[in-house]
Structure 1
């Protein structure tokens, strides 16, 4: 049985560093035996179909191949359509009323509990806000991610240690769900 997945690469093509051209990424994923490979934007989003493996195995395989080909390590998360749809549907914020740049999802490699973020006092960041979901964190940042003081706190290494975390704006969250729909 084949499954369509999205691969989320962390921290590539930002500020001229860790360059991974999307055409080369498509070729690399095709070389791993995946079909229907497409990319979305330049920020490390790929959609592909696989007839073997699970999300963790596929992510590890891609990460190894990227390091071998490009010469640097890249964290990769792989998620199927059902998960991406569930994340979109579980959004605790009124996504349909917001601009895509105001709402973000940070995808985690493993479940995280609220205790990890207990030191953050949400009231001090209002109107910004965040909520946890299934291996995901939803962030409402009305002035965008780049100006968000709350995002800065949530991304502190001590809070996300031992976890792969990568963030996408709401437009990308929705598009990846659409692209993985069978």
Structure 2
């Protein structure tokens, strides 16, 4: 049976005091689900793993259920396969504008249909910020930081917890981890 490399992004984990998960526990939960080669990045719910070729949405649902059943932590999970993550990295149209990778945010869509809901934001003027859409993600240049970003706030108002965001540094580290053999 062929395997597929997937990347799980847990929303809101280890941010503040709520939804605390040790990365060792996350690795165990993913291993117990039958995923292999499980590696985590940072302490914020980012995991790379191999699994039998499976739909990313199905993997996300299985992980969400296991987090509640085994750890008592409800969290939205977005899963991309390694090829989708590579496309997210390659398609970033804001690299020339962004001067700080910590302020360049990548909002990975849980449901690709949500992209349609964000199209109007891509046509608005956000200077000095910027907002752009790719196939699997929205890209937001938060020139004055995420908390001050009008574009990030507008996206959050539209999608709520249906999207999870990582900065460019984290996305590129995940991509490197996913490309390792």
TM-score, normalised to structure 1, is 0.89
How far apart are the structure 1 equivalents of 2:123 and 2:53?
43
Match of 1:25 in 2: 26
RMSD over aligned Cα atoms: 2.1
* Number of residues of Structure 1 aligned to a counterpart in Structure 2: 178
How far apart are the structure 2 equivalents of 1:43 and 1:174?
15
Q: Contact (CA 8 Å) 1:7, 1:77: kept in 2 or not? A: yes
Structure 2, unmatched stretches of 5+, are: none
Q: Contact (CA 8 Å) 1:114, 1:132: kept in 2 or not? A: no
How far apart are the structure 2 equivalents of 1:128 and 1:96?
9
How far apart are the structure 1 equivalents of 2:74 and 2:16?
17
Q: Which of 172, 177, 180 is 1:179 aligned to?
A: 177
Match of 1:122 in 2: 124
Match of 2:150 in 1: 149
Match of 2:162 in 1: 164
**Pairwise CA distance, 1:87:** 0.8
How far apart are the structure 1 equivalents of 2:162 and 2:29?
22
Map 1:1-182; keep pairs closer than 5 Å: 1-94=2-95, 98-111=99-112, 112-114=114-116, 116=118, 118=120, 122-123=124-125, 125-156=126-157, 159-160=158-159, 164-181=162-179, 182=181
How far apart are the structure 1 equivalents of 2:104 and 2:32?
35
Write the deviation string for residues 101-146 of structure 1: whole angstroms up to 9, x where unpaired. Answer: 12111011222345546379833x4101101111311001122212
**Pairwise CA distance, 1:151:** 1.3
How far apart are the structure 2 equivalents of 1:121 and 1:81?
29
**Pairwise CA distance, 1:18:** 0.8
Q: Which runs of 4+ in 1 moved over 6 A?
A: none
How far apart are the structure 2 equivalents of 1:176 and 1:86?
13
Query: Aligned in 2, Cα 1:113/1:5: closer, same or farther, shift over 3 Å?
Result: closer
**Pairwise CA distance, 1:56:** 1.0
Deviates more, 1:74-83 or 1:47-56: 47-56
Write the deviation string for residues 61-93 of structure 1: whole angstroms up to 9, x where unpaired. Answer: 111000101223211111111111111111111
SS of residue paired to 1:105: strand
Structure 1, unmatched stretches of 5+, are: none
